[in-house]
Amino acid sequence: MADKNTNEKTANEKNKIKAGGQVEIIGVRFERVGRVYYFNPNKTECALGDNVLVETERGVDMGRVAFANRYIDSSTLTQPLKPIVRKATEADMQQEAANRIREDEARPIFIEKVQKHGLQMKLVDVHLLHDQSRINFYYTADGRVDFRELAKDLGAVFRMRSDLWQIMVRDEAKRKNGIGICGRTLCCATFLENFQPVSIKMAKEQNLSLNPTKISGICGRLMCCLKYEEDTYEHLNESLPNEGDVIKTADGTGEVLSVSVLRQLVKAAVRKKPTDAPVINVYNVSEITVVKQKFRDSKNTNIDGVLE
């Protein structure tokens, strides 16, 4: 009796939420680490990790539930939600396994056709939709490629629509995965859903070597992890002077030689009087006052603990 009352209460709460302008959704991810798309669960209770068939713009495909049934404000949706078709059955999983085999068989065919047409393309990944209505080829290239004749040949071989998608080198690394210079699997293939902008300024603020081989990932672009501590370094740098700034201390006035960002220490050559020989001391940032600033584009930050 208690269970029945609990179920009725839960149902009433859901109805109340619906009446308040909320809509029930589930989140579905199609790639191992990729964007989460919202779908209407279509009165189906889904659990995290369930495989479901959904109708996409390209056809029926299988995805994995990234988060289970929940309600969100309908005003946050930009377009009507498509309902899921159903939870994946054993037959659906067997179909997916067969599709993976066909994808592997399609790779050498694609490479052969590319060579036949003399195109400069590098195949990265192949994806066959669950309903086998379309096959997608993902590739990288230095520039734009005219693949119209290639697409015709592929369509004739596979007897379905063949779409070719040019992706960037970061996306290639995300799809292929690998080991970074840190010895761990790539962040982009492990947990990063979207790529964040990364600049050389971030490496400068963290006083990392500007040698491209030291700060670049296996994709050849700046490492995504440069972004992780950027906010912390920006905050800590706000209170630090630049190298070359003139500061006032309890021991006199002097010029900043270097700074330690994480320890918030300043190394300076200080004189009690202008005629005195300089004495090199280390001060906490709270013990100094900047008298004159030397203009610089960014702060000269040494790695924590290194005061040259």
> Which regions of the chain carry the CATH code 3.30.300?
93-167
Residue 207's pLDDT is what? 80
> Which helix (H) or strand (E) covers residue 100, if one does?
helix 90-117
Q: Is the pLDDT of residue 163 over 70?
A: yes
Question: Rounded to the nearest 5 degrees, what angle is found at the Cα of 221, between the Cα atoms of 217 and 224?
Answer: 65
Residue 100's pLDDT is what? 95
Residue 194's pLDDT is what? 86
pLDDT in tens, 199-225: 999 998 888 888 988 899 999 999 999
Say how many CA atoms lie within 13 Å of 84 toward its Cβ.
Answer: 29
Measure the CA–CA gap between 128 and 23, rounded to whole angstroms.
31
* β-bridge mates for residue 125, sequence order: 138
Q: Is the pLDDT of residue 34 over 90?
A: no
> Which helix (H) or strand (E) covers residue 232, if one does?
helix 230-237
Please identify, in words, the CATH class of the domain defined by 93-167: alpha beta
* β-bridge mates for residue 86, sequence order: 53
Q: Is the pLDDT of residue 6 over 60?
A: no
Q: Is the pLDDT of residue 155 over 80?
A: yes
Q: Is the pLDDT of residue 32 over 50?
A: yes
**Rg of the chain in Å (alpha carbons):** 29
Residue 173: pLDDT band with limits 50, 70, 90? very high
Strands 246-249 and 289-292: antiparallel
Residue 8: pLDDT band with limits 50, 70, 90? very low
Q: Is the separation of the CB atoms in 71 and 27 below 8 Å?
A: no
Residue 295's pLDDT is what? 59
In the chain, the percentage of residues whose pLDDT exceeds 70 is 89
Residue 3: pLDDT band with limits 50, 70, 90? low
Paired tokens of 68: 């289970």
pLDDT in tens, 256-278: 998 888 899 999 999 988 888 88
Q: Of the given ranges (79-83, 89-93, 194-198), which has the lowest mean pLDDT?
A: 79-83
Q: Is the pLDDT of residue 35 over 70?
A: yes
Residue 15's pLDDT is what? 41
pLDDT in tens, 41-83: 988 899 999 999 998 888 899 999 999 998 988 888 888 888 8
Enter the CATH code of domain 235-292.
Answer: 2.30.30.30
Give the strands of the sheet with 122-128, arranged side by side: 122-128, 134-140, 161-166
Paired tokens of 89: 């059955």
> Which regions of the chain carry the CATH code 2.30.30.30?
235-292
Strands (E), 74-178: 84-87, 122-128, 134-140, 161-166
Measure the CA–CA gap between 159 and 166, rounded to whole angstroms.
22
Q: What is the pTM of this model?
A: 0.73
Q: What are the φ/ψ torsions at residue 99 (nearest 5 degrees)?
A: -65, -35
Q: Is the separation of the CB atoms in 82 and 39 below 8 Å?
A: yes
